[in-house]
């Protein structure tokens, strides 16, 4: 009988011992360094960027669910969502906030001056007030500049190689986004140097896109689309309306060309996301964001959609096709 009780006690102790590692594991899981991932659009939009970021984290020894936790939230291109998500990450006390594009990065900056923030892409981080300087950002933000506004003249030059006799240019930008405002002025300046007439389409929300096209009727030979979360989220709608209006489009975003736009020229975004993981690694190992210099893109892609060119009756010069990094047929 006694041995029976002893055995039962022993089994109970064994059960408790087996439960211990689970409790310890749960405690450990609660203590994993956590990244708050503030996505500017939706999961499906960002899948390629997320994959590049997570892959690089793995190479650096940060394995999701094992040595690091990632809380994903999606802004769907809506300004008010960016602020809500940033506030939620502050409540969750995440260790670092990772985002891309100027409006989400500004929303995160307004939400906290303590939690480190890494932006994978920001068009002009100094001009839009994200950081004090590229070499010494100061504050709690650092990351990668995508030099969006700087490349405006280069994009117009490429567009003129395809749209021969380009005289009238429409420019679509979100005037609620400080980067779009900068890019708009860069494009306007480049257009006036080239002697082009300009029609500016000011957008603030998705609902403004269709009326902007209606107002444009017959007043432009091509459309330049500024880089912005609202416009990226609605790129299929923009391309459909542009095609119906027989307007060739140019943007910085390769995804817009995959979605039926004519051309894009800009940084290789998956590469910037890989490099963003290096910033996160440095910060989690103790570096201060304000002391890590903001870096510039090193890879740029020219992407051309030949199907769209044919639909618009445009001939893409073979010399330009030869320079393209990607041709969509």
Which stretch of DSSP H or E encloses residue 236?
Answer: helix 235-244
**Is the whole-model pTM more than 0.85?**
no
Which sign, positive or negative, has the C-alpha torsion 318, 322, 323, 324? positive
The first and second tokens of residue 165, run together, are: 């006799």
Class of 30-147+268-299 per CATH? alpha beta
Of the CATH numbers 3.40.50.20, 3.40.50.2300, 3.30.1120.130, 3.30.750.210, which one belongs to the domain with range 149-267+301-328? 3.40.50.2300
Name the 3-class secondary structure at 118.
Answer: strand
150 pLDDT higher than 90 = no
What angle do helix axes 152-162 and 178-193 make, rounded to 10 degrees? 50
* 231-251 confidence digits (pLDDT tens): 999 999 999 999 999 999 999
Q: Provide mean pLDDT across the span 20-48.
A: 77
Instruction: Write out the H or E segment, with its range, that includes residue 203.
Output: strand 197-203
Residue 215 CA to residue 245 CA, distance in Å, equals: 11
Q: For the segment 259-297, what is each residue's pLDDT rounded down to a tens digit?
A: 999 999 999 999 999 999 999 999 999 999 999 999 999
Please give the DSSP secondary-structure letter assigned to residue 149: G
Flag whether pLDDT at 23 surpasses 80: no
pLDDT in tens, 98-108: 999 999 999 99
Say whether 149-267+301-328 and 30-147+268-299 share the same fold. yes
Block residue for tokens 């890989």: 274
Q: Give the domain ranges of the chain.
A: 30-147+268-299, 149-267+301-328
E-strand stretches of the chain: 34-39, 69-74, 96-99, 117-122, 141-145, 168-174, 197-203, 222-225, 249-251, 263-267, 300-305, 326-328
User: If you average pLDDT over each of 14-28, 147-161, 232-246, which comes out highest?
Assistant: 232-246
Please state, rounded to an integer, the average pLDDT across all residues of the chain: 91
How many CB atoms sit inside 10 A of residue 85's CB? 25
**3-state secondary structure at position 110:** helix
Dihedral angle sign, alpha carbons of residues 114, 116, 121, 126: positive
pLDDT score of 146: 87
């Amino acid at each position: 009988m006694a041995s029976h009780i002893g055995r039962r006690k022993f089994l109970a102790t064994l059960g408790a011992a087996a439960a211990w590692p689970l409790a310890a594991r749960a405690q450990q899981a609660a203590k994993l360094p956590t990244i708050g991932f503030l996505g500017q659009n939706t999961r499906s939009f960002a899948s390629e960027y997320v994959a590049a970021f997570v892959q690089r984290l793995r190479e650096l020894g940060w394995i999701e669910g094992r040595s690091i936790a990632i809380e994903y939230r999606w802004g769907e291109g809506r300004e008010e969502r960016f602020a809500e998500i940033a506030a939620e990450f502050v409540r969750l006390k995440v260790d670092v906030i990772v985002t891309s594009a100027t409006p989400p990065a500004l929303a995160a900056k307004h939400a906290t001056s303590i939690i480190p923030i890494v932006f994978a892409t920001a068009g002009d981080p100094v001009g839009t007030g994200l950081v004090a300087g590229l070499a010494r950002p100061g504050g709690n933000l650092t990351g990668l500049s995508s030099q969006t506004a700087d490349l405006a003249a280069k994009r117009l030059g490429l567009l003129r190689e395809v749209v021969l006799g380009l005289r009238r240019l429409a420019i679509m930008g979100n005037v609620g986004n400080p980067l779009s405002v900068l890019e708009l002025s860069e494009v306007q300046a480049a257009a006036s140097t080239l002697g082009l007439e300009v029609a500016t389409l000011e957008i603030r929300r998705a609902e403004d896109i269709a009326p902007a096209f209606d107002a444009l009727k017959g007043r432009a030979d091509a459309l330049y689309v500024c880089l912005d979360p609202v416009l990226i989220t609605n790129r299929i709608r923009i391309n459909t309306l542009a095609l119906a209006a027989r307007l060739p489009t140019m943007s910085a975003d390769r995804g817009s060309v995959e979605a039926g736009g004519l051309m894009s020229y800009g940084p290789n975004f998956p590469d910037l996301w890989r490099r963003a993981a290096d910033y996160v690694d440095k910060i989690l190992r103790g570096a201060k964001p304000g002391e890590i210099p903001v870096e510039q893109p090193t890879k740029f892609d020219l992407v051309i959609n030949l199907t769209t060119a044919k639909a618009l009756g445009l001939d893409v010069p073979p010399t330009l096709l030869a320079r393209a990094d990607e041709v969509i047929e």
